[in-house]
Structure 1
Amino acid sequence: MEHVSKYLTPEIKLSCYEDHFFKSEIVFDQHMLVWFISGETKIVQAEATHRFQTGDIFLIPRNKPATIINYPKDGLPHKTVVMLLTTKILRDFYRTIEVKTKITAVPKIRSFSNHPLLESCLTSLIPYFEMQGQFPENLAALKITEAISILRAIDPEVDSVLANFDDPYKVDLISYMEKNYMFNMPIEKFGYLTGRSLTTFKRDFKKAFNTTPQKWLTQKRLELAHYQIAERKVKPIEACYETGFENLSHFSFAFKKQFGYAPTEVAQARYVH
């Protein structure tokens, strides 16, 4: 897999994947504004699955688990311009602004497909990626401020996401895990996102589920994968990547150990009936 990232600053980059596809489980520590130049992305979250392609612009909120699968399309690589809206930048921006909207505790992806103002802002960055030498910091700051200002102008509710600087608070563990078990994150990250230390998370998990996190997560992911293949006609490789498994061989081994037959046998049985 060939992946090339060109950075103007730590907050602004051009990302390009040339290979068949790239998949990752991610919880972003910062908000991300993404503009699609070419290719396609599938983002699987607890409440919805999104597809984005050429011309789309969207905002991925921080601290939101997601499985991200990037594909080339129409003979072109998966290429995006990515702008990180960091907590520091946003605190500085909002320091002198009175926010009147209600803060959203669990924000969703916000889409701004083909919006001319945002596209103009992000397109203007392209020539700088071809330049030699350092990108001026003050110019980078102006570009990010411009992007934030445009977002606020075209989306009256975006302050509810961007002006929220709180760490995750302690949430109901059973409800959170039932909604987010398919994301392959370290146990420490599950703890952080539920507002717990690792020790408290493990203790609360044992009390709630009467087993270890790893055993419970594996079983839930396998059950979801079985359902997707058998009932939703999803291909085994897609079910593997969308239910939190790292690779197909490990998934197939765990699946057969759990159910007594391979995921390919479930897929084949659909055609027999």
Structure 2
Amino acid sequence: MENLYEKIRSGLAFNKFEVRELLFVEYTCPLEDEAFGIWTQSDYLIHVLSGQKTWRTPRGSWTVAAGETLYIKKGAAIVEQFFDDEFCMLGFFISDDFIRNILKEISGKMDFNADPKNSPAAAIEVHNDPLLSAYFQSMLTYFNGSQKPSDLLLEIKLKEFIINILTTPHNPSLAAYFQSLLEVEKSSIRQIMEANFNFNLSLEEFARLCHRSVSSFKRDFKKHYNLSPGKWLLTKRLEYSAHLLKNSDSSITQIIFECGFEDLSHFSRAFKEQFGVSPLNFRKDAGAKRTLPASF
């Protein structure tokens, strides 16, 4: 699974601006694989200039087309291509600390229009009012220019977007999510693991996703689940694969990919140890007789 943030940051061919941990990019995606997995340790905002793509997780799927905008929380997703038009987007990678610092700076100075309930969804659709449409057009102007804008100006432009979301009535779910970041200084292990368990990430990548060292991640994980990350991940992935075998038409090959297993032999062996039958036989006749997790 590819780290999109690191790929863009280290790539020489991208039209991008970097300001410390912040990353701004005008990105044209080559039309190659029909579906591929990506992850990032930071949230990111995409505004589609042409084409369309679907971001899919166990908690939902979001298709965005030209003129539409999606805010995607830190974590992993399966991205599905459409081959009708070339896909081009503006992408902004935003750290939690940057958002928190802006909230602390403006708190008490203006009213926020936030939904009282913070959505647990992995992504949030952004409603583009005239102000936001003009905002993205102004950002595109910088990418089309011959000179990089100053770091201060780029930070101010990103701050403009966040304040716009917080103070206008069109995006209460995203405003609530921004405000929720003030309540915790560290990313929630439980929220991140429940949202990303099915993706084939290494222990080191899960630790980065949770903004912890590997040793801190293991220690905090044990406090939450009283299990090692490896044992917990295997159980969750097997339960999810059983759910898909019973409730979807996906092929076993697709299910292996969607549940984070390396290959068929590993999946089949682990599945049989857990459920007593092969995945194929489970789907044929054993699935209807077994008690599975109600939902994912």
Taking structure 1 as the reference length, the TM-score comes to 0.70
Q: Please give the secondary structure, in 2, of the residue aligned with 1:182.
A: coil
Aligned length: 255
User: In structure 1, what residue type is equivalent to 2:131?
Assistant: L
Q: Please give the secondary structure, in 2, of the residue aligned with 1:41.
A: strand
User: In structure 2, what residue type is equivalent to 1:71?
Assistant: Q
In structure 1, the partner of 2:52 is: 39
Shift of 1:135: 2.7
Q: Please give the secondary structure, in 2, of the residue aligned with 1:125.
A: helix
Alignment of 1:69 onto 2:59: no
Map Cα deviations across residues 104-133 of structure 1 (whole Å, 9 max, x no partner). 777533212454432321133224323333
Q: 1:194 to 1:34 in 2, by over 3 A?
A: closer
User: In structure 1, what residue type is equivalent to 2:177?
Assistant: V
Q: Contact 2:55–2:78 (CA<8 Å) still a contact in 1?
A: yes
Alpha-carbon RMSD = 4.1
Gapped regions of structure 2 (runs ≥ 5): 286-296
Q: 1:191 to 1:104 in 2, by over 3 A?
A: farther
Q: Contact 1:176–1:194 (CA<8 Å) still a contact in 2?
A: no
Alignment of 1:129 onto 2:143: yes
Any residues of structure 2 matched to 1:193-272 within 5 Å, and which?
193=210, 197-201=216-220, 203-204=222-223, 208-209=226-227, 212-245=228-261, 250-259=262-271
Q: Please give the secondary structure, in 2, of the residue aligned with 1:93.
A: helix
In structure 2, the partner of 1:118 is: 132
User: In structure 2, what residue type is equivalent to 1:218?
Assistant: L
Partner Cα separation in structure 2 for residue 150 and residue 254 of structure 1: 48
Map Cα deviations across residues 69-111 of structure 1 (whole Å, 9 max, x no partner). 141431x233221123334543453313326668877753321
Q: Contact 2:53–2:63 (CA<8 Å) still a contact in 1?
A: yes
Partner Cα separation in structure 2 for residue 149 and residue 213 of structure 1: 38
Q: Contact 2:24–2:90 (CA<8 Å) still a contact in 1?
A: yes
Alignment of 1:23 onto 2:42: no
Map Cα deviations across residues 152-192 of structure 1 (whole Å, 9 max, x no partner). 21334544322424333777x6x985665213334353697
Partner Cα separation in structure 2 for residue 191 and residue 219 of structure 1: 22
Partner Cα separation in structure 2 for residue 146 and residue 198 of structure 1: 34
Shift of 1:13: 0.7
Q: 1:15 to 1:70 in 2, by over 3 A?
A: farther
Q: 1:176 to 1:259 in 2, by over 3 A?
A: same
Identity of aligned residues (%): 16
Q: Please give the secondary structure, in 2, of the residue aligned with 1:84.
A: strand
Taking structure 2 as the reference length, the TM-score comes to 0.66
Alignment of 1:96 onto 2:106: yes
Q: Contact 1:252–1:262 (CA<8 Å) still a contact in 2?
A: no
Q: Contact 1:32–1:61 (CA<8 Å) still a contact in 2?
A: yes
Partner Cα separation in structure 1 for residue 89 and residue 186 of structure 2: 29
Partner Cα separation in structure 2 for residue 169 and residue 89 of structure 1: 14
The correspondence for 1:147, drawn from 161, 176, 180, is 161
Alignment of 1:183 onto 2:196: no
Partner Cα separation in structure 2 for residue 191 and residue 135 of structure 1: 30
Partner Cα separation in structure 1 for residue 117 and residue 175 of structure 2: 9
The correspondence for 1:7, drawn from 4, 12, 16, is 16
Partner Cα separation in structure 2 for residue 268 and residue 146 of structure 1: 51
Shift of 1:229: 3.9
Partner Cα separation in structure 2 for residue 116 and residue 204 of structure 1: 47
Q: 1:233 to 1:120 in 2, by over 3 A?
A: same
The correspondence for 1:80, drawn from 70, 86, 89, is 89
Q: 1:142 to 1:253 in 2, by over 3 A?
A: same
Gapped regions of structure 1 (runs ≥ 5): none
